[in-house]
Structure 1
Amino acid sequence: MSSLIFPPYVEKGDRVIILSPSSKIDKSFLKGAKKRLKSWGLEVVVEKHAGSANGTYAGSIKQRTEDLQNALDDEKAKVILCSRGGYGAVHLVDKLDFTLFRRHPKWLIGFSDITALHNVIQQNGFASLHAPMARHLTVEPDEDFCTSALKDILFGHFQPETADAVQTSKEGFSYVCSGHKLNRKGTAKGILRGGNLSVFYGLRGTPYDIPAEGTILFIEDVGERPHAVERMIYNLKLGGILERLSGLIIGQFTEYEENRSLGKDLYGAIADLVKEYSYPVCFDFPVGHVTMNLPMINGAEVTLETGRKEVKLSYTIQTLT
């Protein structure tokens, strides 16, 4: 087991590129994100089509691909911030050239639909950041926990100003969260991978699917009906993914009606699907379409310790560049 290659940490004066690879965005959030990132001492470049619109998308496929390719190729950039998710990143995954990116790797930031791009980045051997995007950086205050955590990871500090849920050490840092009655106790090491379940599911069986062996998988989703979530997790079960994992983190499933159509609540249905496996399983982890959306380093080596009262997700940083 080995972590993926980490892009360099940023320093003041480094370049961040903001772009919109999926749905169109309110331009006020582009301005807000730019302001927040500049306050960190970073140079901020907003790509040409970041504020464009083509139907529900932030520009045509050609325009969005052009912006992302330009960002991947930029030798001075250290970070690519995706402004929002929605839908549309899948249009770009097979159109990208990583030749220059491999020489000058950079952090890709985003979640939701950006899961598709995380998978592509990982397929090319690099870690990336499943983390809040432009709206969060615009509307949340300076002391927001997830904003501080994102900043500290990017700068390699690992000491968020609000440390209620973080422990730091010479070896790395840990998120410490409340437990859940459905948690399966245990400890496991693995490579952290995951993101939005629907997007992850849509790439199953493609070159951009993620490997199951040695993976601690985290999943979240928004607006999906319980039976649709169950169907997707059955796919992971029947496809042999679940049995090969090292651990499983169930994040936030939001904006759906808990109508107990499955005969139980959603978490209960998921718990039944994974009860035969021996690895640790964590429920209600703070990641997803919520304000408390902890930055997760896709491709990092982690240790997951789950209990009924507490969950600890620890990142190892000795190998970071």
Structure 2
Amino acid sequence: MLAPASWSDDGWIERSVAQLESWGFQVRLGAHARDRRGYLAGRDEDRLADLNSAIRDPEVRAIVCLRGGCGSFRVLHGIDIQALRRDPKPLVGFSDITALHRVWHSIGVPSLHGAVAGAHAKTVRDLLLGHVPHVVRAIPTQFGAELTRPGTASGPLFGGNLELLARTVGVLDFDLQGHVLLLEASKAAGLGMIDRAMTQLIMSGALDGITGIALGCLEGFDDYEDRGWTIIDVLRDRFDLLGVPVLAGLPLGHLADPITVPLSVDCGLDLERRELTCSPAATKDPPDAPGTRTSA
């Protein structure tokens, strides 16, 4: 387990390690996973060293991030891409970890958008073992579910935190032609940031040719309004420009019990049944039995 972004307290680290071990995995904690430097989990060079060490270690079969927060963006250009190509292994995380998912996606290595937490934590275990992903059903009462738009959509699934996706425009190659876009957002960004992020992605051409949108949690925006508009108004206005089907209300992102889904794999949006279905996240050498592989 690694801390490539912000730090976690000791209690969270111990609970996360215990969760993985309860599934039969052997766990290695990054050398700097307990470091602290302001809101970061230590110095940039140390967090990057932990990440590259896990990528280069043939015994490590998955890289699980302790949390998001802030800091992943700082290490993007130092990641050992060639080592990851030689020995592809999934990355697990969400929120700020979206920046790292962008690197995995850029070279065609599947990763997992989610966390080892909550009532659905076991979905991480199932996906790491190569099981067929759970069908994710939208929750009609979840805030934002009314943004669902009819139609059908399929293609590789990729995305994550809206702001982090926009920040990587111009930093990493960005081509989502034929993809289904996964989005989730946190109120920490505010409506203006949501608007700017969506507009940047659209105006940069990054979203040209997407086939649909899978919309997860809009955390903290339930009662938030800015001069008569809510996040529903902002997203509806931006989604109108894209003109693609939208499946909203998915239990993905900043939730107490998020469901984990694989990225960079084929998926389908069934708007009539309100379901997201994904293919397995196949890597070169997925764990085939608990206790036989190491998760870092």
TM-score range, shorter chain: 0.7 to 0.9
1:92 is displaced (CA, Å) by 0.8
1:301 aligns with: 266
| Residue of structure 2 aligned with 1:193, choices 151, 158, 161 | 158
Structure ranking higher on relative contact order (CA contacts 8 Å, 6+ apart): 2
1:214 aligns with 2:178: yes
Give, as a single letter, the amino acid of the residue that structure 2 aligns with 1:176. R
Q: In 2, are the aligned partners of 1:258 and 1:266 still within 8 Å (CA)? A: no
- Cα pair 1:191 1:216 within 8 Å, conserved: yes
The structure whose residues are more often strand, as a share, is: 1
**Of 263, 276, 300, which aligns to 2:228?**
263
The reply to whether residue 154 of structure 1 matches residue 119 of structure 2 is no
Partner of 2:292: none
Query: 1:320 & 1:37 partners in 2: Cα distance?
Result: 19
Identity of aligned residues (%): 29
Q: 1:181-260, aligned counterparts within 5 Å?
A: 181-206=146-171, 208-222=172-186, 223-256=188-221, 258-260=223-225
Contact 1:81 1:110 in 2 (8 A): yes
Q: Which residue of 2 is the match for residue 286 of structure 1?
A: 251
- CA shift, 1:175, in A, is 1.7
For 2:178, the aligned partner's letter is G
Residue 316 (1) aligns with residue 290 (2):
no
CA RMSD across the alignment: 2.1
What is the aligned partner in structure 2 of residue 101 from structure 1? 84
Relative to structure 1, the CA distance from residue 224 to residue 256 in structure 2 (aligned partners, 3 Å threshold; closer, same or farther) is farther
Please state if 1:120 is matched with 2:81.
no
SS class of match (1:314): strand
Partners of 1:226 and 1:262 within 8 A in 2: no
User: Which position in structure 2 is the counterpart of 1:77?
Assistant: 60
Q: Distance in 2 between matches of 1:129 and 1:319?
A: 11
Give, in angstroms, the shift of residue 182 of structure 1.
Answer: 3.0
Q: Which residue of 2 aligns with 1:15?
A: none
Alpha-carbon spacing, 1:35–1:267, altered in 2? closer, same or farther (3 Å):
same
Alignment gaps of 5+ in structure 1? 1-17, 159-171
Return the offset for 1:192: 0.4
Q: Provide the rounded CA distance (Å) in 1 between the counterparts of 2:81 and 2:207.
A: 30
What is the letter of the counterpart of residue 161 of structure 2? N
User: Would you say the 8 A contact 2:265–2:281 is kept in 1?
Assistant: no
1:157 is paired with a residue whose SS is coil
In structure 2, the residue corresponding to 1:79 is in which secondary structure?
A: strand
Q: Could you tell me how far 1:239 is from its partner in structure 2? A: 2.5
Contact 1:227 1:262 in 2 (8 A): no
1:294 to partner: Cα distance:
1.6
The 3 A distance-change label for structure 1 pair 216 and 262 is farther
Letter in 1 for 2:107: N
Distance 1:20 1:317, change over 3 A: closer
TM-superposed CA distance for 1:251, in Å, is 1.7
- C-alpha separation between the residues in 1 aligned to 2:122 and 2:11? 21
Change (3 A) 1:318 1:48: closer
Partner of 1:175: 136
- Matched residue type, 1:119: R
- 2:3 paired with 1:20: yes
Pairwise CA distance, 1:117 = 0.6
Q: Offset at 1:320?
A: 6.8
- Which residue among 35, 40, 43 is the counterpart of 2:26? 43
Paired residue type of 1:284:
G
Which segment drifts farther, 268-277 or 310-319? 310-319
Distance 2:150 2:92 in 1: 31
Flag structure 2 segments of 5+ consecutive residues without an equivalent. Answer: 285-296
Is the CA contact 2:94–2:113 (under 8 Å) kept in the aligned structure 1?
Answer: yes
Query: Normalized against structure 1, the TM-score is what?
Result: 0.81
Say whether the 8 Å CA contact 1:93–1:120 is kept in structure 2: yes
Q: Does the 8 Å contact 1:267/1:283 carry over to 2?
A: no
Q: CA deviation at 1:104?
A: 2.2
**TM-score, normalized by length of structure 2?**
0.87
1:190 alignment partner, SS class: strand
